A and B are shown apart, each in its own frame.
Chain A
Amino acid sequence: DAKTTQPPSMDCAEGRAANLPCNHSTISGNEYVYWYRQIHSQGPQYIIHGLKNNETNEMASLIITEDRKSSTLILPHATLRDTAVYYCIVRGDPDYGNNRLAFGKGNQVVVIP
């Protein structure tokens, strides 16, 4: 029960910004939005997380709508090494209870030269 909906796949052009959408219409007030990615044959890698404010780090930006029912992960300048399956995950407050991650099928992003 991943609680999120993502497109199964998308292509994006190398050097351009990649905007990865995620719907989480049933998110509750204390649930966070996390993004991980998994490059082929590797373990998942944390990208970013947020509650309601937009967040930015060295890898990406996370834009969360005001009603929190959807979010967008932005890779500002996609490179070929960004080709991966991207997972949008909703989970409870990390300080309470099990922090298990409920991975869905994710979005297979292919960066095209």
Chain B
Amino acid sequence: GAGVSQSPSNKVTEKGKDVELRCDPISGHTALYWYRQSLGQGLEFLIYFQGNSAPDKSGLPSDRFSAERTGGSVSTLTIQRTQQEDSAVYLCASSAQGRLAGNEQFFGPGTRLTVL
């Protein structure tokens, strides 16, 4: 079956440009997460969507970062005026809801962002 997909797989951009990263979660999963992973580091939580609830944006590092989830499915992470320190792999994950599901998070392959 289809897993979590992300696009593009790689993105190279110039400092100051805006970028959009896309995540297609597993169909039926109500929860969606964005993380980022800098070189040699663990994953850093960015934002969490759960159904129709207001997203938890507490992990976004600055107001240049924003995300939306349309129709409870596809999500877009937008980084405005990119900086070199934004270079990282951006990972999206989704999970089903409910105790029996274990809330296991399924991760996509990530988008590698390089800001020159």
Contact = CB atoms under 8 A, between A and B. Distances in A.
A100 B33 CA distance: 7
A53 to B, nearest CB: 14
Interface stretch (A15-23, A44-52, A63-71, A74-82): A44-52
B49 to A, nearest CB: 11
A97 B10 CA distance: 32
Given A95-B98, A99-B31, A99-B95, A46 B105 contact: yes
Nearest to B58: A98
Nearest to A94: B103
Interface residues of B, number: 27
Contacts of B59: 100
A105 B43 CA distance: 8
B109 A43 contact: yes
B71 interface: no
A42 B93 CA distance: 12
Nearest to A95: B99
Contacts, number: 57
* Majority DSSP secondary structure for residues of A touching B: loop
B110 A102 contact: no
Give the one of B43, B95, B99, B107 with max A CB within 10 A.
Answer: B43
Interface string B53-67: 000100100000000
B79 interface: no
A83 B104 CA distance: 21
A98 B105 contact: no
Contact of A103 (B43, B103, B108, B109): B43
A101 interface: yes
A44 B107 contact: yes
Interface of A: 2, 36, 42-46, 49, 87, 94-95, 98-106
Given A101-B33, A103-B42, 13 more contacts: A36-B105, A44-B91, A46-B104, A46-B106, A49-B102, A95-B103, A99-B31, A99-B105, A100-B45, A101-B43, A101-B105, A103-B44, A105-B42
Interface of B: 4, 31, 33, 35, 41-45, 48, 50, 56, 59, 91, 93, 95, 98-99, 102-110
